[in-house]
Amino acid sequence: MYHSKLNLIDTEIGIKIIKACFEENLAYKLNLLRVSAPLFLIANTGLNDNLSGNELPVSFHSSSMDLEIIQSLAKWKRMALYRYEIEKGAGIYTDMNAIRPCETLDNLHSLYVDQWDWEKNIDLEERTLDTLKTHVELIYKSIKETEKGLYEEYPCLKCKLPEKITFITTEELEEMFPSYSPSEREKEICKIYGAVFLIGIGGDLPSGNKHDSRSPDYDDWQLNGDIIFYHEALDCALEISSMGIRVDAETLREQLKKADKEERMSLDFHKMVLNEVLPYSIGGGIGESRLCMYLLEKVHVGEVQVSAWSEEIIKECAKKRIFLL
């Protein structure tokens, strides 16, 4: 039977420690300035994130404007780099709060999403795999230092993360586990290494299948990936971050064509990419509740964030001694 190592008050203190420590480390290591984030955006500008391309945002009308609750800030951040005139080698980060109404609710998924969203201005020559890996390692070091600080406050919690994160491509992973589904592959590789960065999500694999879908207009599918940890209590892969080097004009055209979304080229954001107005950048989102859930050894995201749950889920959690905030 599951039993949380921390009571309610200590859980809330632990959440505060994680968020304060990680945010400070992330900003320092990546040279990021904290900025304010929108809760909603004007519809039909191309700024709201389409995620995998199938999710529909919450929308409403106000003051002669059609508005959408954000799903993530993947494209808004790149526009912010341009508008705030952030210099090369520097970037921004923000607390993103979003609603994703299409999520299927379970231990890992909520209607409410909170994450640190960050974006950094880079040179054209830095659009490389080495640049991607360097930033992954800096983020991982920030998580490791946060884990250490949390352990000093609550030694009942374990330091679970390996010293280094392992890099592997989706093609290599498919070759290792050809008969497995993508989620099964992620679980198996995370059980082996504990912490993995999976490179190359969105494009077709040699088998003709995709590892996972990604919207074609923010990440370069060859230069992106996910930070994934093994969650021992749930025996599953836990995605902590999705990130990547952003599309340039050429990559945007190619990926929109492959995704049959070429009509997006008429949107304001996409025109700015195609006309090379926006800076080259790298960025991503790091799940706040996901990271808290992992480090605090919780088995349900509702133990570290307040959301809405069905009566069925609430009753099931109560049976398993899972206290939802």
- Among 102, 80, 29, smallest CA distance to 279 is for 80
Residues 6+ apart with CB under 8 A from 65: 42
- Residues serving a catalytic function are 49, 100, 115, 226, 239, 242
Contact 202, 221 (CB under 8 A): yes
Helix (H) or strand (E) run with residue 284 in it: strand 281-287
Query: Which helix (DSSP H) or strand (DSSP E) does residue 188 occupy?
Result: helix 182-193
- How far apart (Å, rounded) are the C-alpha atoms in residues 47 and 44? 8
What's the rounded Cα separation, in Å, for the pair 290 and 155? 20
3-class secondary structure, 196:
strand
**Mind giving me the DSSP string for 242-256?**
EEEEEP-HHHHHHHH
